[in-house]
Amino acid sequence: MIKAFLFDLDGVIVETAIFHYQAWRKMANDLGFDISEEFNEGLKGVSRMDSLDLILKHGGVELSEDQKLELAAKKNEHYLSLVSKMTPDDILPGVQDFFKQIKQTDVKIGLGSVSKNAKMILEGVGLLDDFDAIIDGTKISKGKPDPEVFLKGAAELGFSQNECIVFEDAVAGVEAGKNAGMKVVGIGKAEILTKADIVLAGFEGLELAELLRQI
Ligand code: BG6
Ligand code: MG
């Protein structure tokens, strides 16, 4: 019996990857190297400091912990200046209708995101009040693919793993959901999200009852 849906934020509810990319790319360019869009794909679902480490390694740059914290803070400032302009129009197609369908049932809605900016983004797009539980980067110590974020989501809602379904667009996020012992709906491409139980291109036209029958 499914009691809760746990949604990732970036790439599932809103598309922020482009803003992360712009902000990280500016930082890399300032350090004298570039990162491609393809490289950015590998940063999806990865925490801020882990992303920074991957980027610096890619550019062959070694820095002290203090310098890294400074760069991450500067990148985040730039990122926030980009996402602060988001409005309800930036919610991905079909998400609001799917939430409406969920709210007609007893199924709860939780957030499972490693982003420390999750609440601010949800507030900006007007979805903050739709969530019964929010687990974000401020509440966890291990990033995806560790299951912590989804296990905490289930615990906060008072349900067990097999009562929750995860919605994820990132490979690391799908793995986190599976590592939590949950069913995972991949949002994106089946050839990339190979470990998901079902993969959907997006939420548009999605029927809740039909999804529950399939999974
Ligand atoms: C994830 C994104 O949701 O959050 C990653 O997919 C990002 O790209 C991570 O690095 C951390 O986000 P933030 O907002 O805390 O820097
Ligand atoms: Mg994501």
Q: 27-77: per-residue pLDDT in tens? A: 999 999 999 999 998 899 899 999 999 999 999 999 999 999 999 999 999
Q: Are residues 101 and 190 in the same domain?
A: yes
Residue 43 near ligand 1, beta carbon < 6 Å: yes
Q: Are residues 111 and 186 in the same domain?
A: yes
Helix axis angle for 171-179 and 148-157, nearest 10°, is 50
Whole-model pTM: value is 0.95
Q: In terms of domains, do 116 and 75 share one?
A: no
Q: Which two tokens stand for residue 157?
A: 């809602």
Q: Which pLDDT score is estimated for 98?
A: 98
Same domain, 71 and 110: no
| pLDDT-flagged residues of the chain (< 50) | none
Q: Do 182 and 151 share a structural domain? A: yes
**Same-domain pairing of 204 and 174:** yes
Let me know whether 147 and 123 are in one domain. Answer: yes
125 and 184 assigned to the same domain: yes
Half-sphere exposure at residue 153, Cβ-oriented, CA atoms within 13 angstroms: 35
Let me know: does 12 contact 169? Beta carbons within 8 Å: yes
Which of 9, 21, 37, 51 for a ligand 1 pocket mutation test, highest count of atoms within 8 Å of Cβ? 51
> Exposure string (b/e) for 113-127, b if CB count within 10 Å is 16 or more?
bbbebbbebbebbeb
Q: What confidence score (pLDDT) does residue 41 get?
A: 86
Please report, to the nearest 10 degrees, the dihedral formed by the alpha carbons of residues 27, 76, 86, 196 taken in order: 90
Is there a single domain that holds both residue 34 and residue 9?
A: no
pLDDT at 27: 98
Q: How far apart are CA 184 and CA 164, in angstroms?
A: 9
Per the prediction, the chain carries an average pLDDT of 97
Q: Is 8 a catalytic residue?
A: yes
Q: Which residue in the block uniquely carries the two structure tokens 């993969």?
A: 199
Instruction: Provide the number of structural domains found in the chain.
Output: 2
Domain boundary among 39, 56, 83: 83
Catalytic residue among 10, 53, 89, 90: 10
Q: Identify the active-site residue in 8, 30, 90, 132.
A: 8
**Are 40 and 117 found together in one domain?**
no
Angle of helix 65-83 relative to helix 17-31, nearest 10 degrees, comes to 140
Instruction: Output the residue whose Cα is nearest ligand 1's atom 4.
Output: 115
Q: Which domain holds residue 43?
A: 17-83
Q: What is the pLDDT of residue 186?
A: 98
